[in-house]
Amino acid sequence: MMSSDSVLPLPENPIIVGFGGVGVDFLAVVPSFPKPDSKIRTTEFTFQGGGNNGNTMTCAARLGLKPRIISKVSNDGPGKTMLEELEAEGVDTSFFVVSKEGTSPFSYVIVDNQTKTRTCIFTPGYPEMVPQDLPRANLLSALDGARMVYFDARMPDSALVIAQEAFHQNIPILIDAERPREGLNDLLSLADYVVCSENFPRAWTEASSIPRALVSIILRLPRLKFAIVTLGKDGCIMLERCVDDEGSHIEEMDVESCLTTLKERKDDSTAMPTCIASPVTKLRAKGIEESVCGRLYYGASEKIPPSELMDTTGAGDAFVGAVLYGTCNLFILPLHMLVGIF
């Protein structure tokens, strides 16, 4: 999905910190999903690291960032495998909490090779991570020199302690919001950037469409600089807040029509991902009183032929890794040069 020659070189390698879920996947490909009480064989089997945070930080490392993970595993086989795999990818695992007892988080994943469905059975790690697992001195070392901090909204009590410290130190915070979860709102109120999955914006705001929900998110979270929603093969939409320094001179537009206009400008002749941006606009949404001064982006995904598409497990995590990479570059390059690589 990402070709290395299109990746912009970084003048330095920014340190980022990721907090959230890691795990191992026991991934079995079967000719078709088993019936209860039957015996079948795998046609392919892999045992590999996973979890949102693990995947996202691996992607970030491959793009040239220097990620550190804060998370918890046990001193068992899967736990050791995870740490080894992450280290081999260039992820710093020295801030992991390794429990002497218990089990590391793991998933059984059954891939049906006919229907291409993937059924996941997740077993959380035990004992669960608590804020006391991370002494303040370790937290401060983990955040030392960090350009950004990422959260996947797992283990909310510990996440909030880390986010509050990052906030206090003015380290930008990015949240990957998959679905409304316990403790997520506290994290969101400290966030600078949000990347969410397709259903999240409407679920969280109760707005009737994704573009309207994006306006609502930007209004509800006054610190937020942008919110991105990913739409699988349909790419992504981003709403970036802009400073309204021209007052009433900025044109007003309905956010739905704005998106329609962007989609009409999409170049269908290329298979490569493309990005189309609106001018700075006062975006209005039906049913919402206030408008947002911002720029709307439509990012079309790469057109991948079905024969080449294996499965999209972790696509969202890889996307967030690329957003972290792009956002770290924001200090160097303007946004419109970067969205193409998201």
Ligand X SMILES: *[C@@H]1O[C@H](CO)[C@@H](O)[C@H](O)[C@H]1NC(C)=O
Given the rule CB under 6 A, which residues bind ligand ATP? Answer: 197, 230-233, 235-236, 301-302, 304, 309, 312-317, 319
Tokens of 43: 């046609």
Toward ligand ATP, which CB reaches closer, 140 or 309? 309
Q: What amino acid is encoded at 180 in this protein?
A: P
Phi, psi of 16 (to 5 degrees): -130, 155
Least Å distance, CB 43 to ligand X, is 3
Q: How far is the CB of 161 from ligand ATP (least distance, A)?
A: 26
Nearer CB in complex with ligand ATP: 86/236: 236
Cβ(31)–Cβ(44) below 8 Å: no
Least gap, CB of 230 to ligand ATP (angstroms): 3
- Asked if residue 241 lies in contact with residue 294, where contact means CB atoms within 8 angstroms, the answer is yes
> Minimum Å distance from CB 93 to ligand X?
31
State which of residues 6, 32, 43, 94 lies at the interface with ligand X (CB under 6 A): 43
DSSP code of residue 166: H
Closer residue to ligand ATP, CB minimum distance, 122 or 167: 122
For the window 100-119, what string marks contact with ligand X as x by the rule CB under 6 A?
A: -------------x------
Q: Find which of ligand ATP, ligand X, none residue 43 binds, CB within 5 to 8 Å per kind.
A: ligand X
Q: At closest approach, how far in Å is the CB of 59 from ligand ATP?
A: 11
- Smallest separation (angstroms) from ligand X to the CB of 31: 6
Residue 32 or 94: the one with the smaller Cβ distance to ligand X is 32
The answer to whether the Cα torsion of 12, 196, 58, 306 is positive or negative is negative
- Look up residue 231 and give its two tokens: 């739409």
Of 12, 44, 144, 311, the residue at the interface with ligand X (CB under 6 A) is 44
CB atoms within 10 A of CB 142: 23
Crossing angle between the packed helical segments 52-63 and 315-328, to the nearest 10 degrees: 50
Q: Which does 2 bind (CB under 5 to 8 A by kind): ligand X, ligand ATP, none?
A: none
Residue 19 backbone phi and psi in degrees, to 5 = -120, 130
Q: Which residue carries 């793991």 as its tokens? A: 106
Can you tell me the distance from the alpha carbon of 197 to that of 322, in angstroms, rounded to the nearest whole number? 15
Task: State the Cα angle at 261 between 259 and 265, rounded to 5°.
Answer: 115
Nearer to ligand ATP, 111 or 142 (CB): 111
Taking the least distance from each CB to ligand X, the nearer of 87 and 311 is: 311
Residue 233 interacting partner from ligand ATP, ligand X, none (CB closer than 5 to 8 Å by kind): ligand ATP
Paired with 73 in beta bridges are: 98
Options 2, 7, 10, 29; binder of ligand X; rule CB under 6 A: 29
| DSSP 8-class letter at 126 | B
* 199 interface partner picked from ligand ATP, ligand X, none, CB below 5 to 8 A per type: none
User: 126 φ, ψ to 5°?
Assistant: -140, 140
d(CA 95, CA 250): 47
Which residues in 206-245 contact ligand X (CB under 6 A)? none
Q: Would you say the C-alpha torsion 75, 64, 322, 164 has a positive or negative sign?
A: positive
Read off the amino acid at residue 223.
R
Least separation in angstroms between CB 314 and ligand X: 18
Task: Choose between 6 and 43: whose C-beta lies nearer to ligand X.
Answer: 43
> CB under 5 to 8 A by kind: which of ligand X, ligand ATP, none does 44 bind?
ligand X
Q: Which residues bind ligand X (CB under 6 A)?
A: 29, 43-44, 113
